[in-house]
Amino acid sequence: MKKVIIVEALSTGSNLIQDCFDRDLEPIVLERYLDTEVSAKALEHERSEKYSHIKVPFTIIKEQKSYEVTLEQVRALAPSFVLPGSEDGVILATRLADDLGLLGNPYSIINKMTNKFHMHNALKEAGVRHIRGQVCKTPEEAEKFYDTLDNENVVVKPPHGAASMGVRFCKGKKDLLTKFSEQLGQIGSLGDIAQELLVQERIIGSEYIVNTLTFNGIHKVTSIWKYEKKALDNGSNVYVGMIAIDEVTPEAYALVEYAFQVLDAIGIKQGPVHGEYMLDEKGPVLIETNCRCMGTSYPAPYGDLIFGHHETDLALESYTNQDVVLQRLCKPYGTKKFGFNKFMITPKDMPITNSPIFGILPHLRSFYNCTVYSTISTDNLAKTVDLETSSGTIRLVHEDYSIIKQEYELLKDLESKYFGLLYQENFDKSLGSLPEVSAAPDSLDSFEIDLRHLKDYPLEDVYHYLKQVILSVKKGGTIFVTKDAYAEFPYGAAGMVTILRIFGLTINLPVYKSDKIIAER
């Protein structure tokens, strides 16, 4: 059986283990060595969480402090391929594959593959649109570079990193110097300490993902997504969500045409690239390349539902059967279903004692699955400042665009206006079992909801009660909620209307001189 070394099988890259197993390949995970205790501890926690979901056998080996010892350890296993399973594994996987004479990208281009400054320099040398930037070790160097620009909007970021960690938007010189000093010396997403930072002019536009797969220098697109982000007051950039592009629009055409130029300029010969691009009035421009499969930890079947394939399987196939993968990717681009991801944003540091979000999500018609925090996994949510501090991801998929779009917007409303309907803090009351609704399913023409006897129950229990009420009413029947009832509910009428919409009810407009919310099933 052929052996495949996967360097750091994290995030979506953990799917490679199952993909290897399905192809009668032996997966061996190589875990990186980290000499920073805090980073090593965080990485170990992430590994444990990922491994707990893998249902097939695999072997784990450890990187040694000496690269030469690690190389000989891997050589003794006689692997057929060495692949990165995440951004953490790109440098080591590329170096090992090159030194072992295996299929992959030449290690000589590793800086252009992983360092944001060098990849943009490669574009500049190739005559491809790039972003002006400079690596700076001191605030004085940052100020000197800023003075050469004709743009007061700049970005400070680690030269090598992922998930928007350490990325800060700045407006004006004073703001730049403050944020530069704040980020210098911080631990980055890959466990390294920022001893220098990249300062770039800021491009303002719409941000996209173009995921590609290259084999023998031939580039193919595997998926295209559009990001929705927003800037926080501290200058950081948080992800709101991302939407799968379902057809070839003029924007998508221009992005892909440009992405191929980027891959050629960097020198990519083999494997997946997760490229992030900005599109402004001048056209597309690269933000960064990540020479591995897209992250966000989405399950393989989720990609299959949307695109008819998932990228880790295609990446593996590009090493094992290039003719087949070329044939699979020669079909016209499009999606089988619509796909949206909602990245949850926590508005502040908050303790949580109840997680009613799990009583809401299953009622969304487009809900596929989620990886969000619960009271089982944590008793405190951290304020979201980047992708790493998101409180989770909710994945939606549906064949009807209007349904998935409406439910994505509902989630945004819940998060921004009614976060207390998703998580409760300082809730310590326990009253045992919730009262049951005695009516049989689909047996009533109408039902008047009274929640006053439930005000001390956790919201997750209240949602369960509401579900029973709704199911007891015939389709086309009416549900009434009196003012006395919704006054006891978090956020009052607005909160109640939002939850009833999540449960799929149609809300009537208010009736003159009536204080009831009227909804139809």
* Residue 271: pLDDT over 80: yes
Domain-ending residue, one of 201, 234, 255? 201
Name the band, by pLDDT with cuts 50, 70 and 90, for residue 65. Answer: very high
Confidence of residue 216 (pLDDT cuts 50, 70, 90): confident
Domain of residue 509: give its range: 444-520
What values do phi and psi take at 244, rounded to 5? Answer: -70, 130
Give the pLDDT band (50/70/90) at residue 206: very high
Q: Do residues 311 and 303 lie in contact, with contact meaning Cβ atoms separated by under 8 Å?
A: yes
> Is the same domain home to 314 and 341?
yes
Q: Taking all residues of the chain, what is their mean pLDDT, rounded to a whole number?
A: 90
Name the β-bridge partners of 26. 3
Residues 369 and 510 both lie in one domain: no
Confirm whether 95 is domain-assigned.
yes
Phi/psi of residue 476, each to 5°? Answer: 90, -10
- Greater model confidence, 184 or 36: 184
Q: Residue 142 is part of a domain; what is its CATH number?
A: 3.30.1490.20
Number of H helices, E strands in the chain: 16, 22
Specify whether 241 is located in the same domain as 177: no
How many C-beta atoms lie closer than 10 Å to residue 361's C-beta? Answer: 18
Distance from chain centroid for Cα 307: 17
Closest CA to 197 of 276, 140, 113, 112: 140
Q: Is 291 found in the same domain as 384?
A: yes
Distance CA 41, CA 30 (A): 17
Q: How far apart are CA 133 and CA 117, in angstroms?
A: 7
In angstroms, the CA 312 to CA 420 distance is 37
| Domain harbouring 8, CATH code | 3.40.50.20
Has residue 468 been placed in a domain?
yes
Q: What is the pLDDT of residue 17?
A: 97
430 domain-assigned: no
- The answer to whether residue 119 is domain-embedded is no
Kindly report each contact of residues 431-435 with a partner whose C-beta sits within 8 Å and lies 24 or more positions away, as own/partner: 431/456, 431/457, 434/461, 434/462, 434/464, 434/465, 435/465
Last residue of a domain, one of 177, 201, 225: 201
Assign residue 316 the CATH number of its domain.
3.30.470.20
pLDDT value of position 270: 95
Query: Do 84 and 23 share a structural domain?
Result: yes
Query: Any idea what the Cα angle at residue 212 is, between residues 396 and 30, rounded to 5°?
Result: 85
Q: How far is CA 114 from CA 111, 189, 199, 378, 407, in A?
A: 5, 13, 16, 33, 36
Over 90: is that where the pLDDT of 455 sits?
A: no
Which of 390, 421, 452 finishes a domain? 421
Tell me the C-alpha distance between 315 and 329, whole Å. Answer: 12
Residues 232 and 183 in one domain: no
Domain count for the chain: 4
Give me 331's structure tokens: 């079909």
Asked whether residue 78 is assigned to any structural domain, the reply reads: yes
The pTM (predicted TM-score) of the whole model is 0.91
Residue type, 72: E
- 184 and 159 housed in the same domain: yes
Give me the pLDDT at residue 180, please. Answer: 84
**Radius of gyration (C-alpha) of the chain in whole angstroms:** 25
Is the pLDDT reported for residue 507 higher than 70? Answer: yes
pLDDT in tens, 331-364: 899 999 999 999 999 999 999 988 999 999 999 9
Question: Are 224 and 254 part of one and the same domain?
Answer: yes
Query: Model confidence at 133, in pLDDT bands (50, 70, 90)?
Result: very high
CB 221 within 8 A of CB 212: yes
Residue 409 burial (CB count, 10 A): 12
Q: Do 142 and 223 lie in a common domain?
A: no
pLDDT of 89: 95
pLDDT score recorded for residue 431: 61
Q: How many CB atoms lie within 10 A of CB 75?
A: 12
CB atoms within 10 A of CB 313: 22
Per mean pLDDT, which range of 18-32, 117-131, 228-242 is the poorest?
228-242
For the chain, what percent of residues have pLDDT higher than 70? 94
| Residue 17 sits in the same domain as residue 57 | yes
Closest CA to 14 of 33, 35, 31, 34: 31
Q: Which of 75-84, 103-112, 320-329 has the lowest mean pLDDT?
A: 320-329
Q: What is the rounded average pLDDT of the residues 10-36?
A: 93
Domain membership of residue 273 (yes or no) is yes
Asked whether the predicted pLDDT for residue 164 surpasses 70, the reply is: no
* Rounded average pLDDT over 138-167: 82
Q: Are residues 174 and 217 in the same domain?
A: no
Tell me the H-state helices in 321-438. Answer: 322-328, 401-417
Domain contains 115: no
In this structure, the answer to whether residues 185 and 213 fall within a common structural domain is no
pLDDT band, very low/low/confident/very high, at 415 (cuts 50, 70, 90): very high
In percent, how much of the chain has pLDDT > 90? 65
Residue 184: pLDDT band (50, 70, 90) is confident
Q: Is 396 within 8 Å of 368 (Cβ atoms)?
A: yes
Residue 428 lies in a domain: no
